[in-house]
């Protein structure tokens, strides 16, 4: 049997304490990351859960895909206000995905279809607005987000939630 002197025992205890601290830190970082992800998802839901959002989405949804800026102007000020409302709300969502604060999957699952619908109707209006204001950054994160969601869907060909998660069970 090996005899351990006091120095060896203290080294062993010190090493175990360091390993324990590292494991604890890793678990805390993981928990904080999960909490941040969950909070970001809540922010996305809160962004889309009020009457202004619903009214704006309802109005913009009446536009045809690839609506021209001219046809949007003809619809009047309410339509442009609705487009601004949705743009202002989607810009930070796109940026949050870019910064990896929230995953593209979560945004796609929660509001991906809406993002694609909005961009498909706002593209011409956005391009005209960028030119008229000399602001090429206007709606940049809305465009970026819609492009990423479209790419993701093309690659993954995801099923709608009722089919994709039909075997889901509560834990």
Angle at 58 between CA 68 and CA 91, to 5 degrees: 70
Count structural domains, the chain: 2
Do 24 and 73 share a domain, yes or no?
no
Q: Is residue 171 part of a domain?
A: no
pLDDT tens, per residue, the chain with 171 residues: 567 788 777 888 888 888 888 888 888 888 777 777 777 777 777 777 789 999 999 999 999 999 999 999 999 999 999 999 999 999 999 999 999 988 999 999 999 999 999 999 999 999 999 999 999 999 999 999 999 999 999 999 888 889 988 999 998
**Res 1: pLDDT:** 57
pLDDT value of position 42: 77
- Segments forming the whole domain that contains residue 72: 48-164
In a domain, 169, yes or no: no
Asked whether 152 and 104 are in contact (CB, 8 A), the reply is yes
Q: Please report where in the chains the tokens 């009020």 appear, as a residue.
A: 50
- The pair of three-digit structure tokens given for residue 24, joined into one six-digit string: 């604890």
Give a yes or no: residue 104 inside a domain: yes
The full DSSP string for 18-38 is HHHHHHHHHHHHHHHHHHHHH
* Whole-Å CA distances, 56 to 59, 84, 118, 141, 144: 5, 9, 10, 19, 21
pLDDT computed for residue 128 by the predictor: 96
Structure tokens at 12: 């062993």
Whether residue 141 sits in one domain with residue 76? yes
Tell whether 70 and 121 lie within a shared domain: yes
What is the chain's percent helix, strand, coil content, to nearest 5?
A: 75, 0, 25
Instruction: Determine the pLDDT at residue 2.
Output: 66
Q: Is residue 101, in this structure, part of any structural domain at all? A: yes
**Residue 170 falls within a domain, yes or no?**
no
Is residue 10 assigned to a domain? yes
Give a yes or no: residue 43 inside a domain.
no
> What local confidence, expressed as pLDDT, does residue 142 receive?
97
- Please tell me whether residues 11 and 85 are part of one structural domain: no
């Amino acid at each position: 049997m090996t005899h351990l002197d006091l120095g060896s025992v203290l080294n062993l205890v010190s090493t175990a304490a360091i390993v324990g601290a590292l494991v604890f830190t890793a678990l805390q970082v993981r928990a904080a990351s999960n909490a941040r992800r969950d909070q970001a998802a809540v922010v996305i839901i809160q962004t889309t859960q009020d009457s202004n959002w619903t009214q704006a989405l309802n109005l913009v949804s009446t536009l045809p895909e690839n609506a021209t800026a001219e046809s949007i102007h003809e619809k009047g000020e309410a339509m442009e206000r609705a487009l601004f409302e949705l743009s202002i709300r989607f810009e930070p969502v796109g940026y949050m995905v870019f910064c990896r604060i929230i995953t593209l999957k979560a945004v796609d699952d929660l509001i991906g279809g809406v993002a694609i619908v909005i961009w498909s109707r706002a593209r011409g209006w956005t391009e005209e607005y960028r030119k008229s204001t000399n602001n090429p950054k206007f709606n940049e994160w809305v465009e970026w987000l819609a492009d990423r969601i479209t790419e993701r869907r093309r690659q993954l060909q995801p099923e709608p939630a009722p089919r994709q998660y039909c075997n889901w069970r509560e834990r």
